[in-house]
Amino acid sequence: MELSRRRERELARLGEEATTLWHRQRDVLSRAGDLLRDAGRQAGDIGRDDLYPKARRQVESHLDPVLTRLGKAPQKESVGFGASVLMAIGAAAVAIIGYAIWSTLRSDDDLWVDADDEF
């Protein structure tokens, strides 16, 4: 199919405009990425320098009385290493027994092959 010279020029002009537009969009997106990086950096600086210290002071001022009161309360003995190991072994045994029961009771209808099937 042959195009007239006028159509060829129009197509060439549109191609150039599309290329120019593509380059402009790429530049805009690059600038937007730079802006987002700078905004993220500023947000991190503000959070680290202003918000975090204020929040920490507020939390400490509200929790210090509670923590002081808890510190005066009698402490319970923690569970020893041996007891922790025995609890882990018990939990594993319960999980294994549960899996064995589940696998025994599940329906295996799709695993059976009828004798009437011919290959």
pLDDT given at position 80:
82
Tell me if 100 is assigned to some domain: no
* Residue at 76 is within a domain: no
**Does any domain span residue 92?**
no
Q: Which domain holds residue 39?
A: 1-71
Residue 63 is assigned to a structural domain of this protein: yes
pLDDT at 8: 92
Q: Tell me the CA distances in angstroms from 102 to 12, 96, 105, 107, 108, one per residue in order.
A: 70, 10, 5, 10, 12
Main-chain phi, psi angles of 114, to 5 degrees:
-70, 145
What tens digit of pLDDT does each residue of 56-77 get? 888 888 888 887 777 766 666 7
Q: Which residue has the tokens 């060829």?
A: 8
Total domains in the chain come to 1
Q: Indicate whether 87 belongs to any domain.
A: no
Q: What's this model's pTM, rounded to 2 decimal places? A: 0.42
What confidence tens digit (pLDDT) does each residue in 22-61 have? Answer: 999 999 999 999 999 999 999 999 988 988 888 888 888 8
Q: Is there a domain that residue 97 lies in?
A: no
